[in-house]
Structure 1
Amino acid sequence: MRRIRFVDISIFVLKYIFNWRFWIAEITKKSKIYKKFIDKMLFEEDEIVVVPNTVNINKKIESEGSEFLPTDIIKEVVKRSEDIVIMNTCLCRESNDCQDYPHDIGCIFLGPTTRKIPNHIGKKATVDEALAQIDKADEAGLTHIIGRNKIDTIWMNIRPGKGLLTICHCCPCCCLWKVYPNLDEDISDKIEKLNGVEIKLHEDNCKHCMKCLDDICMYGSISLENNKITIDYDTCKGCGLCVNACKFDAITIDYTAKTIDNIVNRIDDLIEIKEL
């Protein structure tokens, strides 16, 4: 009961301060002491990877006879997991009263620490149920972020953090969306682009519909300069939502052989959750 009461209080606090998250993040660039405190409390040892949404991209990665869709990376991790919990709702979309994406597509938590998650937060799920949740998120146009996120262990009051892996299905309302660019780069660099993923801009195909500018890019990497769409490749994380938004093939996504190596290596790292 004590844990449930703590979680309920945490949810209340998170919803209350949710729309302050940009201001809270921005202070990390102005105060070294505050940055160290926030990093220690909420982001210590975080490792988060952006995996492109695949519904409209629908491009397979081919290597030595094997084929992958980007979302299959996440599905492979799920298939190797014994403990799975699906969050009942998306706390972020509820807090922001999101009108564009469904509230009932919550995060997926993997690993032995999930056994401590209260039932009113999330329900134990089978592999098939988790895979269906990923497909549902794809169909809704959400992008996936997978990794260890310390803040989840804080608000749910569960430990150890190394036994918890989070799969978020993000939209512009989500806690990480556009917050990481506001953070000091020592923290924001903890969210990574999947190696081998490359977003390309084809100016000749651009019809200036401006759909890619409609609060789509997680990192604010797309802008309009001198009446031309530009992409800041230094900040782009390859989520692919701009590709989905463009109906004229002016923005495309490509993969290289490095992607396959990264898939294998990263899955091996994340699957350590089964060894605890």
Structure 2
Amino acid sequence: MKIRLIDVNIFIVKHIFRFRFKVASLTRKSRIMNRIISKIVFEGDGTYFVPNYKGMSQENIEVNENVTRTSTIEINKNIQVVDKIVTPTDFIKNILRQSDDIVIMNKCLCRRSEGCDDYPIDLGCIFVGKTTEKISRKHCRQVSADEAIRHIDKCDEAGLIHIMGRNKMDSIWMNVRPGDELLTICNCCPCCCLWRVYPNLSDSIQNDFYKLPGVSVSCDNDKCISCKKCIENCYAKSIRYEDKIIIDEDICIGCGQCTLNCPTNAMQLHYENIDVESVFNKIDSLVKINDR
């Protein structure tokens, strides 16, 4: 039986996954370790947090129901912004519609490694770009843009958020190159996601994680029952409780996990005046998604 490097890597990841917070913390504790880990694991990376539409405020719901605007913006002749951007997830769908090389992983490696009981393990990551041709079909399937979009919808319904961008770590564990031809779209739960390590990472590494411009989160303290689930689920540790919920917007990454797990809908997601062009320009500078 032929053993592929990706199979070995999956085995290794599953057994070292529980140490991810300790490894991430090394980037804060040691300047040398920060340089080494940054070079090996994060070099060239850039990632956006894309929140689930389910957490959006009533005002956004009402506005979105009336949106009919369409636009076309050519970004470096590679990605075009076609169709209306109604919810944050539409950023992802717009890219998928223009992509020919798309695969969906059979399993989410994070939830599989943690043995997740609360969210579907079979809602795996999506990868886009020419490099996907080199990913072992034992662990993924090639799909059309429409099927990938349906997969995103399933992830939204399951209460997952998305993380989209260039992720060197994925090209390493799947043993595929070049990394600048591989776009990662993770579908993340609040309990198992690798990027729960975000607060443990050094500031220099955190700088390559981006909040969608125009996205914000608020708390209606009249509805809040002080259960503090938002604090527990916050990826960035930007929420604290001082007689009421306080959100530090300078730290918040706009992932929206707090809004999805609030039992009274006190936590709400807002987005307005999103700079669509800047987001697609950034993605285009990080990853060569298409040949054109």
Fold equivalence (TM over 0.5): yes
C-alpha deviation, 1:229, in angstroms? 1.5
Name the residue aligned to 2:12.
13
Amino acid at match of 1:54: Y
Do structure 1's residue 149 and structure 2's residue 167 form an aligned pair?
yes
Q: Deviations over 1:151-183 (max 9, x none)?
A: 011111110011100000011344433212101
168-177 or 194-203: bigger deviation:
168-177
SS of the residue 2:96 aligns to: helix
* Partner Cα separation in structure 2 for residue 267 and residue 152 of structure 1: 16
Amino acid at match of 1:233: E
Give the one of 239, 246, 251 matched to 1:222.
Answer: 239
Q: Deviations over 1:77-130 (max 9, x none)?
A: 111111001001001101011111110000000000000000112111111111
- Alpha-carbon distance change, 211 to 175 in structure 1, aligned in 2, over 3 angstroms: closer
Do structure 1's residue 257 and structure 2's residue 273 form an aligned pair?
yes
* Partner Cα separation in structure 2 for residue 269 and residue 82 of structure 1: 19
* Partner Cα separation in structure 1 for residue 274 and residue 55 of structure 2: 22
Give the one of 125, 128, 131 matched to 1:110.
Answer: 128
Amino acid at match of 1:160: P
C-alpha deviation, 1:245, in angstroms? 2.3
Name the residue aligned to 1:65.
69
C-alpha deviation, 1:30, in angstroms? 1.2
120-129 or 44-53: bigger deviation:
120-129
Do structure 1's residue 138 and structure 2's residue 142 form an aligned pair?
no
- Alpha-carbon distance change, 55 to 250 in structure 1, aligned in 2, over 3 angstroms: closer
8 Å contact from structure 1 (residues 52, 240) kept in 2? yes
- Alpha-carbon distance change, 183 to 176 in structure 1, aligned in 2, over 3 angstroms: same
* Partner Cα separation in structure 2 for residue 230 and residue 143 of structure 1: 22
238-247 or 257-266: bigger deviation:
257-266
Identity of aligned residues (%): 48
Name the residue aligned to 2:202.
184
The gaps in structure 2 that reach 5 residues or longer are 71-83
Name the residue aligned to 2:78.
none
- Alpha-carbon distance change, 17 to 7 in structure 1, aligned in 2, over 3 angstroms: same
- TM-score calculated relative to the size of structure 1: 0.91
- TM-score calculated relative to the size of structure 2: 0.86
RMSD over equivalenced CA pairs, Å: 2.2
C-alpha deviation, 1:271, in angstroms? 6.7
Give the one of 234, 241, 252 matched to 2:257.
Answer: 241
Amino acid at match of 2:248: D
Do structure 1's residue 80 and structure 2's residue 98 form an aligned pair?
yes
C-alpha deviation, 1:260, in angstroms? 3.4
* Partner Cα separation in structure 1 for residue 264 and residue 7 of structure 2: 46
SS of the residue 1:208 aligns to: coil
Amino acid at match of 1:241: Q
* Partner Cα separation in structure 2 for residue 249 and residue 142 of structure 1: 17
SS of the residue 1:115 aligns to: helix
118-127 or 248-257: bigger deviation:
248-257
58-67 or 189-198: bigger deviation:
58-67
Shift >6 Å, 4+ stretches? none
Name the residue aligned to 1:29.
28
Q: Deviations over 1:34-59 (max 9, x none)?
A: 11111111100101001110134273
Name the residue aligned to 1:45.
44
8 Å contact from structure 2 (residues 55, 256) kept in 1? no
Name the residue aligned to 1:231.
247
